[in-house]
Amino acid sequence: MSKPFDMELFLAAVLTGSHVTRQRHLSQAKRIQAEIALRWHREIPWSWQRKHIAWFLHHHICHCSEATRYYYLLTARLLVRRLGKTWVFRF
């Protein structure tokens, strides 16, 4: 049996800011991971493509407030930075 992916360890290199900010990013990253794993069966971020994160941003938080969408966009940018990609997301 494999160990669950540790999102906190994955994002540790790019997380900055206050404790509350880091916790928010971790919580949102875990939700993004869970939804992508459920829909696309991709458990770890290293296997993600741009379309996976874009799908989450456009289908799962489209009915949320503008502030919530903005915070998820910031978390998505952290994930992209950690993956070493140059993907850009817009609303």
Tokens of 68: 């919530």
Predicted pLDDT at 81: 97
Q: How high is the pLDDT of residue 1?
A: 47
* Cα separation, 53 vs 51, whole angstroms: 6
- The vertex-24 CA angle with 21 and 43, nearest 5°, equals 130
Q: What are the backbone dihedrals phi and psi of residue 4, each rounded to the nearest 5 degrees, phi first?
A: -70, 150
Domain boundaries, given as residue ranges, for the chain? 7-83
Structure tokens at 41: 């069966």
How is residue 25 written in tokens? 């990013």
pTM for this model (two decimals): 0.93
Taking the chain (91 residues) in runs of 10, the rounded mean pLDDT of each run is 83 95 97 96 96 96 94 97 94 68
Sign of the torsion angle spanned by Cα atoms 57, 60, 63, 69: negative
